[in-house]
């Protein structure tokens, strides 16, 4: 049975946290601390459990934040590990990394008047859980000073710390309020990301790519110019090219000519589409359809193409919205033919609700759509 979110902070977390604080010399009695979480703790959801324990920390730790932060850091368990590629490994000395959610909430609200102590606490915290949320109030209230700290973090020995530089400054970080301080001028943040573009950890580089993808809507031209800067030069690392491609995934899917041109697909392709078909033509919600076509290079020279599937889903109001499924880059020899096929699931999902109606299917070659067929969903 899967664990519900609330149990990421387990029922005995108040006792465990009290014991950690006692070992760190905070003068806390574990049982007293546990009782301060309230008799209804078991019935609380994840965020309410985190906030209840953050409130308990505020009552039991010293009122002077630097002293409280020092004890909080001293009480923490071992940092999360990293594998050979720089990807995170679970820590075994706490039930889950969400055990440190109360710490994050405490620092986010209690430390704004003590920037250096708060940043030191978040440096430790992000190596065990995350500081991407607790850093955002500091970026809003102490923007320049926090950026100075993050610039130093960009060269830290820990990939968790370096990743926090990118994640905390993401303008559209999931589950977090939008960070508007850099909406008008993203340059200070882009300078930080430039420091991380060739980071040895894939964990960090993926965060940079996700951050840049957030800026497609707010600063599309600046994002494209930055991508060109990063790809300019005789010896661009393959990891950087992969980062830029992932950062531009939204622009590539919608067929943006400038984004496509960065990867050699800015011009209409000479490749022809043959034998397009969709099977079956009529299908029930919950079933599957097969999307098929043949690509043909009719020329006497090698041709490359970026091929993506595009399905125009019917919405609840009867209108249609295109969804692009990332395909592949293909290189076809003169006269060559290649079959493309995709199985499309039509079961209901939390991320997509299917509605009856006619769904058009296209194959996009270098962003240019070519009709493949349609299926009627019932």
Q: What is the pLDDT of residue 91?
A: 65
Q: Report the number of secondary-structure helices (H) and strands (E) in the chain.
A: 15, 10
pLDDT, tens digit, 9 for 90 and up, residues 266-284: 899 999 999 999 999 999 9
pLDDT at 84 over 90: no
Say if residues 288 and 218 touch (Cβ distance below 8 Å): no
Classify 201 as helix, strand or coil.
Answer: coil
User: Structural domain boundaries of the chain?
Assistant: 5-215, 272-377
Cite the beta strand spans of the chain per DSSP E. 81-82, 88-89, 272-279, 282-283, 288-296, 303-314, 320-332, 337-345, 357-365, 368-377
Task: Please tell me the distance from the alpha carbon of residue 241 to that of residue 53, in angstroms, as a whole number.
Answer: 44
| pTM of the model as a whole | 0.86
Distance (Å, whole) CA 179 – CA 168: 9
Contact (Cβ atoms closer than 8 angstroms) between residue 362 and residue 369: yes
pLDDT of res. 327: 81
Cα angle value 311/317/320 (rounded, 5°): 20
- 321 Cβ neighbours under 8 A, 6+ residues apart: 312, 313, 315
Give the C-alpha separation, 121 to 164, whole Å. Answer: 13
CB atoms within 10 A of CB 344: 18
Share of the chain above pLDDT 70, in %: 99
Q: What is the mean pLDDT of residues 128-152?
A: 96
In degrees rounded to 5, what are phi and psi of residue 304? -115, 155
The reported pLDDT for the residue numbered 108 is: 97
348 has pLDDT over 80: yes
Average pLDDT over residues 151-157: 97
Q: Is it the case that residue 328 has pLDDT exceeding 50?
A: yes
Average pLDDT of the residues in 143-162: 97
**pLDDT surpasses 50 at 126:** yes
In this prediction, residue 183 has a pLDDT band, given cuts at 50, 70 and 90, of: confident
**Which residues, at least 6 apart from 5, have a Cβ–Cβ distance to it below 8 Å?**
45, 46
For 175, other C-beta atoms within 10 Å of its C-beta total 7
Return the structure tokens found at 12. Answer: 């005995």
pLDDT of 1 strictly over 80: no
Superfamily of domain 272-377: Immunoglobulins (2.60.40.10)
Q: Which two tokens stand for residue 347?
A: 């079961």
pLDDT in tens, 29-69: 999 999 999 999 999 999 999 999 999 999 999 999 999 99
Q: Look at residue 92 in the predicted model and tell me its pLDDT.
A: 66
Query: Is pLDDT above 80 for 3?
Result: no
3-class state of residue 58 by DSSP: helix
Taking CA atoms, 144 is separated from 39, 147, 183, in Å, by 43, 5, 15
pLDDT at 295: 97
DSSP 238-304: HHHHHHHHHHTHHHHHTT-HHHHHHTT--S---PEEEEEEEE-SEE-TT-EEEEEEEEE--SSS-EE
Q: Out of 30-44, 178-192, 331-345, which region has the weakest mean confidence (pLDDT)?
A: 178-192
Stretch among 67-81, 251-265, 290-304 having the lowest mean pLDDT: 251-265
What rounded mean pLDDT belongs to the chain? Answer: 93
The predicted pLDDT at position 112 comes to: 97
**Token pair for residue 223?**
């994002």
pLDDT at 326: 86
């Amino acid at each position: 049975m899967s664990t519900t979110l609330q149990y990421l902070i387990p029922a005995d977390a108040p006792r465990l946290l009290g014991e950690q604080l006692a070992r760190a010399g905070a003068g806390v009695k574990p049982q007293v601390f546990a009782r301060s979480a309230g008799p209804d703790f078991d019935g609380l959801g994840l965020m309410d459990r985190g906030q209840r324990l953050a409130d308990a920390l505020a009552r039991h730790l010293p009122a002077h934040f630097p002293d409280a932060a020092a004890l909080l850091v001293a009480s923490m368990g071992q940092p999360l590990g990293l594998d050979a590629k720089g990807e995170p490994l679970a820590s075994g000395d706490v039930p889950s990394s969400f055990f440190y959610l109360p710490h994050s909430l405490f620092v986010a609200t209690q430390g704004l008047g003590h920037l250096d102590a708060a940043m030191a606490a978040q440096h430790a915290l992000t190596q065990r859980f995350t500081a991407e949320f607790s850093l955002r109030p500091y970026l809003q209230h102490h923007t320049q000073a926090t950026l100075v700290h993050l610039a130093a973090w960009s060269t830290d020995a820990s990939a968790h710390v370096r990743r926090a530089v990118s994640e905390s400054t993401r303008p559209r970080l999931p589950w977090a309020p939008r960070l508007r301080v850099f909406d008008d001028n993203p340059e200070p943040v882009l300078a930080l990301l430039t420091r991380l573009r060739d980071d040895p950890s894939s964990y960090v580089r993926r965060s940079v790519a996700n951050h840049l993808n957030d800026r497609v809507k707010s600063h599309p031209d600046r994002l494209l110019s930055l991508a060109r800067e990063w790809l300019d030069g005789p010896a661009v690392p393959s990891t950087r090219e992969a980062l830029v491609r992932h950062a531009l995934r939204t622009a590539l899917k919608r067929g943006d000519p400038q984004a496509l041109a960065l990867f050699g697909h800015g011009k209409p392709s000479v490749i022809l589409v043959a034998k397009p078909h969709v099977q079956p033509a009529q299908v029930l919600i919950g079933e599957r359809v097969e999307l098929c076509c043949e690509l043909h290079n009719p020329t006497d020279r090698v041709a490359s193409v970026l091929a993506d599937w595009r399905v125009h889903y019917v919405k609840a109001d009867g209108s249609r919205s295109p969804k692009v499924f990332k395909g592949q880059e293909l290189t076809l020899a003169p006269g060559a033919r290649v079959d493309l096929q995709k199985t499309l699931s039509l079961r209901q999902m939390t991320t997509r609700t299917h509605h009856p109606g006619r769904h058009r299917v296209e194959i996009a070659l270098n962003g240019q759509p070519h009709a493949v067929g349609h299926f009627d969903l019932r």
